[in-house]
């Protein structure tokens, strides 16, 4: 019996276009491996140089101004206790105080215009930033269960 279509394992479609791979999909923050989550969470509080030093993070290396820390750190899908082991006791107290300040204020801002969010907003499932519908060219809530911002999609496409 003659088979139709392209053989299994082909890298191109029937008309010669590159075949899309299903395994290279965007992964929401909640589904990332713990090592990737830890790296992202640490980047919210310390600089890249402090991460490279291979020693516990000290108080002087921690960002203590809550305005510069993203609201992603207080999202339900984020467990900041995962990164406790990387900080000294004093540094962890600073991190906890910043988390308390963020939780107390709960004044979410748009990731594009930096203004206070209105009633129509959406969160990126990858970077956990919030956006106004108008800033990301949406008129209604996305129908998909997962939504990714333009920056995350561009970053994923370049990998």
pLDDT in tens, 56-76: 999 999 988 888 888 899 888
Q: Over 90: is that where the pLDDT of 96 sits?
A: yes
**Length of the chain (residues):** 159
pLDDT in tens, 25-44: 788 999 999 999 999 999 99
Smallest Cα–Cα separation from 100: which of 129, 125, 77, 80?
A: 80
Smallest Cα–Cα separation from 59: which of 87, 80, 40, 32?
A: 87
Mean pLDDT of 116-135: 91
First-to-final CA distance of the chain: 41
Looking at residue 50, its pLDDT comes to 79
Q: Over 80: is that where the pLDDT of 13 sits?
A: no
**What is the rounded distance in angstroms from the CA atom of residue 32 to the CA atom of residue 79?**
13
Global pTM?
0.76
**What is the rounded distance in angstroms from the CA atom of residue 73 to the CA atom of residue 99?**
7
**What is the rounded distance in angstroms from the CA atom of residue 23 to the CA atom of residue 92?**
37
Please, are residues 112 and 131 in contact by the beta-carbon 8 Å criterion?
A: yes
**What is the rounded distance in angstroms from the CA atom of residue 84 to the CA atom of residue 100?**
15
Residues 6+ apart with CB under 8 A from 151: 127
pLDDT bin (cut points 50, 70, 90) of residue 86 is very high
**What is the rounded distance in angstroms from the CA atom of residue 72 to the CA atom of residue 68?**
12
**What is the rounded distance in angstroms from the CA atom of residue 133 to the CA atom of residue 153?**
17
DSSP 122: E
């Amino acid at each position: 019996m003659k088979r139709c279509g392209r053989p299994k394992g082909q890298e191109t479609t029937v008309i010669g276009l590159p075949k899309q791979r299903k395994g290279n999909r965007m992964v929401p923050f909640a589904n990332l491996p713990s090592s990737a989550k830890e790296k992202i969470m640490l980047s919210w509080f310390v600089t890249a140089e402090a991460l490279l030093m291979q020693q516990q993070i000290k108080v002087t290396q921690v960002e203590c101004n809550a305005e510069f820390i993203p609201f992603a750190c207080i999202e339900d899908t984020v467990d900041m206790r995962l990164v406790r082991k990387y900080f000294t006791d004093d540094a962890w107290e600073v991190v906890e105080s910043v988390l308390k300040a963020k939780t107390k204020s709960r004044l979410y801002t748009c990731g594009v215009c930096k203004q206070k969010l209105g009633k129509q907003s959406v969160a990126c499932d990858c970077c956990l930033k919030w956006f106004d519908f108008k800033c990301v060219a949406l008129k209604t809530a996305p129908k998909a269960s997962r939504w990714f911002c333009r920056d995350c999609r561009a970053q994923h496409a370049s990998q």
